[in-house]
Amino acid sequence: MLSVKMREHLRRWASVYAVKIGVLAAILAALCGMVGWIAAETLVVEVSDSDGACGHAILTFAGREDIYARTGVAPPAEFDELQTAATPQGQSYHILRAYPVSVTADGATTQLMVTGGTVDDMLTRLGITYDGDDELTPDGAQPTAAGTAITLRRIEYKEYTQQEPIPVETEYLDTSIYFRSRFQGITRQVRTGHDGADNVTYRERYVDGELESTTEIARETVEPMVTTVVKRYKSGAPVSHFVGPEIVNGKPANGVARVFTSCRATGYSASATAKGASGRRLTYGTVAINPNVIPYGSLMYIVSHSGGNFVYGYAYAADTGIAMMDGRAFIDLYYETYDESVKNEVVYVDIYVLDRETAAQYKEQNDALLAADHIVGM
């Protein structure tokens, strides 16, 4: 418990310093209020834009109208977009700078000032639609940038079908039938051809209403073209269409079993359906022989004895006749027209008969050639 003396001492001290303590407290309270007011009225600001500019500033209430000048970033222009956000330190401002984009579609070009978006966004903004046939450049999903030029081309397709002629063509068959000098240079038309017809479908491509291209997309023959066939003389060209070993120096390169030289050959013809004594249908490349000398079915190569001006070619022994049996002629060459048999009269030929093994190698191919030969004179 304090003594009377101590209590008196404290009373006197308090009376002396109370006023000073009060004044000091008032001053401290005023300072705290001032600091709080300044803190409330001061803002840390960050300003940036899409061009890469950036700046910071600490602003009081009086200086907020000067944000862009204080940060060194240009204020938003007419078409720019301002984005704001609160930060722990104050406030951020981000300016999306507008850039030009051009859109050309439907005969008009429109200039836009935009702050972003894809090519499709630009078209949507203008109310322009397009379909899968139309051509859009750049692609609709591509983001735009300053200077992007968008072009939309309207594409339309139209199809139509028309009948078109197939012009007749002339096919020339080379043969040594006309080997005699008085017949060389003549030609003989063995088939008269005619035009054919195709149904042809075309697709037209229109770009912005103008025809750009026409493409054939389908063709169907409704009337086949038939070629005109003309025979003409060519030295060494075989009369027969049958095949065998390669001809080297005027004779088969291999497979020769027997040779008959300078044999008297005559010519004959028959109806288109005629068959030889062997039962084989007669055509170029079938000949009459004495089967006791050359058996039926033998494959041989026949060429004129005096040289290669006349080549009958590979032939099958398929027929016989009195002249071959009594020796007046060694061989009778078949021609598919009487006129050709007369023109060839008598000619002396060399005959190279192939062995059975070699002939068998060509049987399937020659049977197919015989089956495909249905036109007399060809």
Quick: pLDDT tens for 226-260.
999 999 999 899 999 999 999 999 999 999 999 99
- Whether 284 and 339 map to the same domain: the answer is yes
Tell me phi and psi for residue 224, to 5 degrees: -60, 145
CATH code assigned at 186: 2.20.230.10
- Rounded to a whole number, what is the largest CA-CA distance in the chain? 186
Q: Which residues 6+ apart lie within 8 Å of 297 measured at CB?
A: 278, 316, 317, 318, 359
Q: Which residues contact 305 (CB under 8 A, 6 or more apart)?
A: 261, 262, 263, 348, 349, 350
Indicate whether 272 and 336 sit together in one domain: yes
Do 312 and 240 contact (CB within 8 A), yes or no?
Answer: yes
Residues 117 and 180 in one domain: no
Q: pLDDT for 9-48, tens place per residue? A: 656 655 655 555 555 555 555 454 444 444 445 678 889 9
Counts for the chain of helices (H) and strands (E), in that order? 7, 22
CA dihedral angle for residue 25, residue 30, residue 32, residue 36, rounded to 10 degrees: 160
Domain end residue (candidates: 54, 78, 96):
96
| Sequential DSSP letters for 45-59 | EEEEETTS-EEEEEE
Number of separate domains in the chain = 4
Do 252 and 360 have their domain in common?
Answer: yes
Query: Residue 108 sits in which domain range?
Result: 99-153
Residues 50 and 82 in one domain: yes
Tokens matching residue 91? 């406030």
Tokens of 71: 């940060």
Distance CA 230, CA 169 (A): 11
227 and 242 together in one domain = no
Summarize pLDDT for 101-140 with one digit per residue, the tens: 999 999 999 999 999 999 999 999 999 999 999 999 999 9
Question: Is this model's pTM higher than 0.85 or not?
Answer: no
* pLDDT confidence bin for 5, thresholds 50/70/90: low
